[in-house]
């Protein structure tokens, strides 16, 4: 267990803490389940949902009393329905056998219109307010802006600042959907390509790199929810040193990419989605008058009135669990020891032509 360091005169406690941490790491490595809670704000709407589902959630005053250094994860939530996204990600993070403290952050250059100002004020901190802190990991979600050029997004300049900040202030980053495309474009100049129509549905994906720690426990082929208007070509990724494709689909293209140079994961699809997420998006698209197709392989018999069946949940938990485990195994106990990842990744980015002179 990650314990706080003992005072200078408490040598016995230091030894005990290190032994206990080693014990937990050994059990995690062997797959032994050690129920541990996720720490989120007491009044966050996601709390009730998670508690009803049996996810262990620790209250803030109880977490303070525990002699544990939890994993600190910052969530930059760019999705329009923020409460749903908070719940989805807290669910998969909270299912791991480690205590996690989730900090919600927001951009200052854009004010969301689909979430109440009261909610944003109560639970989100502007990125600038935490920029002097360090975290074990950062998660950046997707955003409904993928049809726009990156540079035309209102908060693009601030987002690129956050990407650069993460290189020195976080141990690892996990980017989802447009967030993954944006990070790859910023760091490596990898472009996104417009698709003929929105790609929506649940598609079979194949494991490309079976020895990847992120895919430990995965089936050779597994279903993944997809919801996007753009894609990223395999050739553009393979042309950048240090980027490795872990999973892809014949129908939906590249799904999962690992950047070992910068300790980043890019998932272009949505293993974190709820059962109803694709259906809710389909309903909004229809209501907005968009020329949209029924999500493929999602509704039974392609009947939008039929309740969909969740076939991807276990793989979503495995992916985030494997990532959290990897962060726990390698992130320094003292977050001040996080080194500048740009130093190790700079050469690869230069070779890939990053910086777009």
Residues labelled catalytic: 177, 270, 272
Give the Cα separation of 195 and 344 in Å (integer).
34
Give the Cα separation of 261 and 263 in Å (integer).
6
> Residue 287, SS3?
helix
In 208-261, the DSSP E strands lie at 221-231, 243-249, 253-259
Give the Cα separation of 245 and 154 in Å (integer).
30
Among 90, 79, 103, which residue's Cα sits nearest to residue 51?
Answer: 90
By DSSP bridging, strand 57-58 and strand 71-76 are unpaired
Give the Cα separation of 313 and 310 in Å (integer).
6
> Residue 122, SS3?
helix
- Rg of the chain (C-alpha set): 20
> Residue 62, SS3?
helix
| Residues forming a β-bridge with 101 | 39, 72
Angle between helices 178-188 and 341-351 in degrees, nearest 10: 80
In 40-155, the DSSP E strands lie at 57-58, 71-76, 100-106, 125-126, 135-140
Q: What is the DSSP letter of 59?
A: -
């Amino acid at each position: 267990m990650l314990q706080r360091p003992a005072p200078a005169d408490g040598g016995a406690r230091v030894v005990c803490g290190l032994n206990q941490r080693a014990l937990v790491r050994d059990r995690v490595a062997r797959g032994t389940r050690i129920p541990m809670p996720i720490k989120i704000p007491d009044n966050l709407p996601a709390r009730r949902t998670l508690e009803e589902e049996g996810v262990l959630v620790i209250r803030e005053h109880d977490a303070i009393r525990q002699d544990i250094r939890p994993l600190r994860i910052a969530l930059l939530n760019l999705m329009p329905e923020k409460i749903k996204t908070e719940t989805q990600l807290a669910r998969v993070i909270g299912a791991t056998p480690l205590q996690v403290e989730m900090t919600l952050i927001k951009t200052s250059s854009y004010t969301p219109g689909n979430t109440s100002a009261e909610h944003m004020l109560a639970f989100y901190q502007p990125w600038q307010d935490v920029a002097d802190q360090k975290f074990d990991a950062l998660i950046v979600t997707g955003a409904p802006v993928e049809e726009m050029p990156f540079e035309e997004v209102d908060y693009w300049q601030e987002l690129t600042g956050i990407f650069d900040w993460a290189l020195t202030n976080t141990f690892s980053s996990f980017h989802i959907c447009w967030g993954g495309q944006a990070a790859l474009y910023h760091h490596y100049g990898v472009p996104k390509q417009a698709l003929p129509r929105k790609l929506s549905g649940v598609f079979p994906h194949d494991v490309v790199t079976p020895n990847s720690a992120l895919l430990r426990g995965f089936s050779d082929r597994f279903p993944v929810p997809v919801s996007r208007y753009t894609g990223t070509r395999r050739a553009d990724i393979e042309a950048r040193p240090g980027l490795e494709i872990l999973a892809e689909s014949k129908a939906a293209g590249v799904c999962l990419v690992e950047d070992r140079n910068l300790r980043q994961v890019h998932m272009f699809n949505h293993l974190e989605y709820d059962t109803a997420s694709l259906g809710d998006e389909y309903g909004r698209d229809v209501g907005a008058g968009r020329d949209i197709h029924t999500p493929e392989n999602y509704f039974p018999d392609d009947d939008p009135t039929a309740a969909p069946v969740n076939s991807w949940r276990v793989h979503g938990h495995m992916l985030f669990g494997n990532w959290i485990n990897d962060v726990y195994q390698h992130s320094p106990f003292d977050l001040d020891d996080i080194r500048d990842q740009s130093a190790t990744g700079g050469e690869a980015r230069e070779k890939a032509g990053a910086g777009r002179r």
